[in-house]
Amino acid sequence: MPDYLQVSNAMAAIAKEEMTPLVKKLVAMIENLQEEIQRLKEQAQQMRDEIAVLKGEKAKPKFKSSKMDENTDKDDGDVGQGEKAEKPKRAGSAKRSKTAQLQIHEECVIAPMMPVPSNARFKGYRDVVIQGLVIKAHNTRYRLECWQLSDGTYLTGKLPPQLQGQHFDENLRSFVLYQHHHCHVTQPLLLEQLTEWGIDISSGQIDALLSGAKEAYHAEKSEILVAGLRVSQSITVDDSGARHAGKNGYVLHIGNELFGWFNSTQSKSRINFLECLHAGAITTQVNAQALAYMHEQGLSVAIREQLQLLAPGIVHSLECWHKHLAELGIKDERHVRIATEGALLGSLLEKGFNPDLAIISDGAGQFAILLHALCWIHAERLIHKLIPFNDGSREAIAQVRTQVWSLYADLKAYKQQPSADQVAPLQERFEAIFTQHTCFVTLNQLLQRLYRRKDVSGWASHLAGR
């Protein structure tokens, strides 16, 4: 038996009357040390595996449990001796016509190879559908009529809007974008592929198709975010590390069940988040909301009075805003950050951003603006990641996880059919779950930490949030 299991079993055997405050403190310290030792062991094994792979050897094998005894103890019911019970068919395996729903582009009638006798009777056709793919160059010459008018000017036909300024039609451009971005086909392979199909295209033209003329896509992307924020009651936000143009950066996600929006940035600050919420032109404005935010963040009265000199109601670009701050002598990094956040938020609210929109995150500070709520999934994940050391701690984790997901399910049901009578019982269950004391000290500490975030989570005003 491993040492930490022996220690855990010994701690579990301590009588309740002997669990003095000092003993509880020592037990908590021992559990924390056990967790740290277990993490270090796992990290050391990962490093050993990595070193082994670098040396050309194999990592430590992972042995899975044997499955030879599966299905050996199942009750066969009334199946007689020598008979085998029929296995249920997998879902979707029922017999069906695999070609009935296919669109037929061409029909070909084939007569028998031998001559048909005169007394034979025609009995119809036996259909055989053969699927195929037509890949070939398709070049279109558009002949634009030119007419000279009596005054010497010319009247000329125009290409369709989607072809103006282009040398390749929308199907070919879509194919190049799909192959490169979705199928991860490199530009050299794309050039080779298209050339073999008879397309006269160069590597520079492929690069231009992939990297140029993206204004319409960016405009549509901004419109998606604006529309999504306008019709939503809540959004989930998160950011993660990502590589951009060979450099470390971040990708921000904003969305819910209605839409999803992503943006690549070089920062994960609150200023960056507010700039992304503008979804287009980024502006700043010193108004009542901006000054209230600056006051909440602890910006001094003297600086707020200086900022009021910028004439409330005047909209500034981000470049002009930083210029004004420099002219006012506001150069401290903290002061510039808080003032910029407040001005961005004030302009955002002036544009019509819904201040009652619930912003649900994993608790990251950059998202803590307006009505901020914490994500239940991220909160429960902390409980799930705890390492149990005995049967008691394992049962405590399982019980708390069950309680959390049961409450979460009832909150979602409340969201579908809200009722004032259900609010108090739901709040009482929340209190009971996150203030309980189990036999696992580390779990108790985590529950207390989550309970302290109750007011931050905004769960009472957004009970059925994610």
Query: Per-residue confidence of the chain (466 residues) as pLDDT tens digits?
Result: 455 555 555 556 666 677 788 877 887 888 788 888 888 888 888 888 887 777 677 777 765 655 545 554 444 444 444 444 555 666 555 666 667 778 888 899 988 888 989 889 988 988 888 888 888 899 999 999 999 988 989 999 998 888 888 889 888 988 999 999 889 999 999 999 999 999 999 999 999 888 877 777 788 888 899 899 998 888 999 888 887 777 888 889 999 988 999 988 888 899 999 999 998 888 888 888 988 999 999 999 988 888 887 666 677 788 888 888 888 888 899 999 999 999 999 999 988 898 888 898 888 888 888 888 888 888 888 888 887 878 888 888 899 999 999 988 888 888 888 888 888 888 888 889 888 888 888 888 888 888 887 765 554 444 444 4
- Asked if the structure places residue 144 within a domain, the reply is no
- Asked if the structure places residue 383 within a domain, the reply is yes
Instruction: Count the helices and strands in the chain (H runs, E runs).
Output: 16, 9
- Asked if the structure places residue 110 within a domain, the reply is no
- Asked if the structure places residue 204 within a domain, the reply is yes
- Does 252 share its domain with 186? no
Question: Domain range for residue 300?
Answer: 279-350
- Asked if the structure places residue 388 within a domain, the reply is yes
| Number of domain units in the chain | 5
Please enumerate, as own/partner, the contacts of 58-61 that have beta carbons within 8 Å and a separation of 24 or more. Answer: none
Look-up: residue for tokens 């961005």? 344
- Asked if the structure places residue 202 within a domain, the reply is yes
- Does 338 share its domain with 433? no
- Does 198 share its domain with 237? no
What distance in Å separates the CA atoms of residue 236 and residue 373, rounded to the nearest whole number? 9
- Does 177 share its domain with 287? no
At position 116, the amino acid (one-letter code) is: V
- Asked if the structure places residue 260 within a domain, the reply is yes
- Tell me which DSSP letter residue 266 carries: S
- Does 363 share its domain with 222? yes
Adjacent-strand bridge partners of 284: 316
Chosen domain end from 16, 31, 54: 54
Tell me, letter by letter, the H, E, C secondary structure of 312-328. CCCCEEHHHHHHHHHHC
Tell me, letter by letter, the H, E, C secondary structure of 115-166. CCCCCCCCCCCCCCCCCCCCCCCCCCCCCCCEEECCCCCEEECCCCHHHCCC
- Does 284 share its domain with 317? yes
Question: Which of helix, strand or coil describes residue 249?
Answer: strand
- Does 362 share its domain with 242? yes
- Does 233 share its domain with 336? no
- Does 451 share its domain with 393? yes
Chosen domain end from 175, 190, 213: 213
- Does 346 share its domain with 370? no
CA distances from 120 to 117, 125, 291 (A): 5, 14, 95
Look-up: residue for tokens 């119809």? 124
What distance in Å separates the CA atoms of residue 296 and residue 370, rounded to the nearest whole number? 12
Chosen domain end from 190, 213, 236: 213
- Does 226 share its domain with 368? yes
- Asked if the structure places residue 240 within a domain, the reply is yes
- Does 384 share its domain with 453? yes
